[in-house]
Amino acid sequence: MHPRYRTPWLLPVLLTLLFLVLPAQALAGPFSTPSTCPGVPTGTSLLAHDDTAPATGWQSTNQVVSLVGTGVVAWQWMQDCGVVQDGGPGQTVTFNVSGSFRLSHRAQDSSGDWTDWVDDIIQVDKIAPNNTSDSHPAWSNVPVDIAVKGSDTTSAIDHVEYDLDAAGLQSVPSPTTLHITGDGIHTLDTEVVDLAGNRSGVRHDTVQIDTVAPRIRRSRRRRGSTCRPRSP
């Protein structure tokens, strides 16, 4: 038979074979990765599909992760490769403290087979960052350099916002050095934002510059005047 006449029935057969040889890892959510927890068994399920897809990146609020999938009759999960927990359809896992956590999970199908263990990283930062920008409260006789910057104990600094002399809000990386010139009193408002979107709150500073030397005024003696000693 000519090869082209065999194509219609070969295609569905090939697709079926491809599905049968797909590893269980392929039946997992789009952001999950193979579990790195030691000793986890390899999955054998071809019926269950783990669609769990928690929020990625740093979050500023408690995270409630729903373990979801198709063809699932039971779940198992671990936090940071700890004790295995059991649950059923509709199971949720809550993360309510700041930190970075590994959520490992797998799904069971109606035949009793399990998918591969997969990992998702859950990142929670509910703590405001610190504004550690420089300050210069004293008068200066030269232009002043101010480093606007911040620190964060959980995630990291995303950017710093500043407004110099009410000229408009600017967003810059941390740290960034501002070169302030011009005699007078300058106003500088700064606020630090971390990767989770937490804000430090606006800090108000002033920068005082005076580059003009003072003038010495000398008194002149009037012509014809004499100095008389005081009487005892």
- Candidate CATH numbers 3.10.28.10, 3.10.20.30, 2.60.40.10, 2.50.20.10; the one for domain 130-209: 2.60.40.10
Q: Residue 38 and residue 84: Cα distance in Å, rounded?
A: 13
For the chain, give the mean pLDDT: 88
pLDDT at 50: 97
pLDDT at 222: 61
Question: What mean pLDDT comes out for the span 169-173?
Answer: 98
pLDDT at 9: 47
Side-chain-facing half-sphere of 221: CA atoms under 13 Å: 5
Tell me the pLDDT band of 19, cut-offs 50, 70 and 90. very low
C-beta of residue 180 within 8 angstroms of C-beta of residue 145: yes
Q: Residue 178 and residue 144: Cα distance in Å, rounded?
A: 8
Q: Residue 166 and residue 169: Cα distance in Å, rounded?
A: 8
Return the domain boundaries, the chain. 24-124, 130-209
Q: What is the pLDDT of residues 99-144, one digit of tens each?
A: 999 999 999 999 999 999 999 999 999 999 999 999 999 999 999 9
Q: Do domains 24-124 and 130-209 have the same CATH topology?
A: yes
The continuous run of DSSP H or E covering 225 comes out as none
Higher pLDDT, 122 or 32: 122
Cis peptide before 34 (omega within 30 of 0): no
Q: Coil, strand, or helix at residue 181?
A: coil
The continuous run of DSSP H or E covering 21 comes out as helix 3-21
> Which structure tokens are listed for 69?
């999938």
Q: What is the pLDDT of residues 194-232, one digit of tens each?
A: 999 999 999 999 999 999 999 887 766 666 555 555 555
Phi, psi (deg, nearest 5) at residue 14: -65, -40
Long-range contacts formed by 211-219: CB under 8 A, 24+ apart: 211/141, 211/142, 211/143, 211/183, 212/183
The DSSP secondary structure of 24-67, one letter per residue, reads GGGSS-TT-EE--STTPPPP--SS-EE---PPPSEESS-EEEE-
Q: Coil, strand, or helix at residue 99?
A: strand
CATH number assigned to the domain covering 24-124: 2.60.40.10
Q: Which residue has the tokens 């050095």?
A: 177
How would you label 180-192 residue by residue, b for 16+ Cβ within 10 Å and e otherwise?
beeeeebebebbb
Has residue 154 got a pLDDT over 80?
yes
List of residues 6+ apart from 133 with CB closer than 8 A: 146, 147, 148, 149, 150, 160, 190, 192, 203, 205
Question: What mean pLDDT comes out for the span 180-197?
Answer: 98
Higher pLDDT, 32 or 176: 176
Higher pLDDT, 29 or 134: 134
C-beta of residue 102 within 8 angstroms of C-beta of residue 82: no
pLDDT at 30: 62
Higher pLDDT, 193 or 21: 193
Q: What is the pLDDT of residues 51-88, one digit of tens each?
A: 999 999 999 999 999 999 999 999 999 999 999 999 99
